Amino acid sequence: MKLSDIGEFGFIESIRKDCLTTLDEVIKGIGDDCAVFRSSGDRVLLLTTDMLVEDIHFVRDTITPHQLGGKAIAVNLSDIAAMGGRPLVALISVAIPAEREIEELQELYRGMKDICGRYRVDIVGGDTVASPDKLVINVSVVGDANEGQVLYRSGARPGDKIYLTGTVGDSSAGLRILRGKISAPGPLRDHFIKAHNEPQPLIETGGIIAQSRLATAMIDLSDGLISDLGHICEESGVGAFLFRDRIPLSSELEKVAGYAGFNPLELALSGGEDYALLATVPEKNAKKFEQVCKENGSWPLFLIGDIQEEGGIRMMTADGSVEKLRPKGFDHFSQP
């Protein structure tokens, strides 16, 4: 059997067993946005890591070094946000081709330092090695949270409402523009490329949701709405039902879809890298949850469906029929 036969998530599942063998302090290992490690008192540590490889996660001439540095940090901070935590420190390891200009690398780190400064994260170490031809960036972030407020993927229950903290599909549209698959007029082009190259981690949003203690599960949308909702369903042993007309699309995405002639819902469901937060909330908490979000945050909130007992993800279409959805988010080893 080849790696491509089971894909990224099948491989992760295959190595998950027996990884935790010694420390009682490990509360959560493989299978969530962060590992959770008990430290002292009522606080726990959150640990996450992410790798960006040139020509797989980014193409050099489609993103500035400053943007790339910021994105490398942002995707890790988003994992901390998905658990309801506070980021503290970052470690950065970089594999660099020897012929790269020092100015490019300094600008890369300037992008990292700028976003770390914005979110009060200290860069405390890492490693630098040679690479034969491609730039590779690995970032690890340590955060913390109140143990009783950490939100896992495994807490969703039948009857919970499914909420999104932002629109979806814009980042994927930006990627398609950068790859030359669709075109857009100047201002729209800039909007989508920025959405893809400069993701914004919702640290404050995740913290407010966690502190409310009204949600049961949460995840950030990195692989795509259906794929990431599928992670919650799998870890929680549940299914989900979505309403097609409630999937939030930006006005910009609807405009460019009409201009370029594609279905914006496809990008919204499977595009990935939007980094909005998806949370599940018991029906009894829904009105209070909406009120807390309205009073304490400036982000949009969208109710898009319900958690159900029956497994799988289904969606009510425009004509009232029900369609079963298959996750089609990004998978490193199953992409054509």
pLDDT at 18: 60
In the predicted model, is pLDDT for residue 104 greater than 80?
yes
pLDDT in tens, 183-192: 998 899 999 9
Residues 103 and 209 in one domain: no
Range of the domain at 240: 153-325
| Percentage, residues of the chain above pLDDT 90 | 73
In the predicted model, is pLDDT for residue 182 greater than 90?
yes
Q: Which two tokens stand for residue 12?
A: 């992760």
pLDDT in tens, 216-236: 999 999 999 999 999 999 999
Give the list of residues 6+ apart from residue 114 with CB closer than 8 angstroms, or none: 66, 69, 70
Which of 84, 113, 147 is the last residue before a domain boundary?
147
Residues 26 and 90 in one domain: yes
Distances (CA, A) of 150 to 41, 57, 191: 15, 29, 33
Residues 121 and 159 in one domain: no
Helical (H) or strand (E) element with 126? strand 122-131
Tell me the average pLDDT across 188-217: 96
Tell me the average pLDDT across 252-260: 94
Q: Is residue 102 part of a domain?
A: yes
Residues 192 and 102 in one domain: no
Residues 81 and 101 in one domain: yes
Residues 319 and 199 in one domain: yes
Identify the CATH number of the domain in which residue 317 sits: 3.90.650.10
Q: Is residue 332 part of a domain?
A: no
Residues 54 and 161 in one domain: no
Q: What is the number of domains present in the chain?
A: 2
Task: State the chain's mean pLDDT as an integer.
Answer: 89
pLDDT at 34: 67
pLDDT in tens, 128-162: 888 999 999 999 999 999 999 999 999 999 999 99
Q: Is residue 335 part of a domain?
A: no
pLDDT in tens, 45-90: 999 999 999 998 999 999 999 999 999 999 999 999 999 999 999 9
Q: Is residue 268 part of a domain?
A: yes
Q: Is residue 232 part of a domain?
A: yes
pLDDT at 186: 87
Of 34-43, 73-82, 187-196, 266-275, the range with the lowest mean pLDDT is 34-43
Side-by-side strand order, sheet with 122-131: 26-28, 35-40, 43-53, 136-146, 86-97, 122-131
How does residue 127 score in pLDDT terms, banded at 50, 70 and 90? confident
| Percentage, residues of the chain above pLDDT 70 | 87
Residues 134 and 157 in one domain: no
Q: Is residue 330 part of a domain?
A: no
Identify the CATH number of the domain in which residue 12 sits: 3.30.1330.10
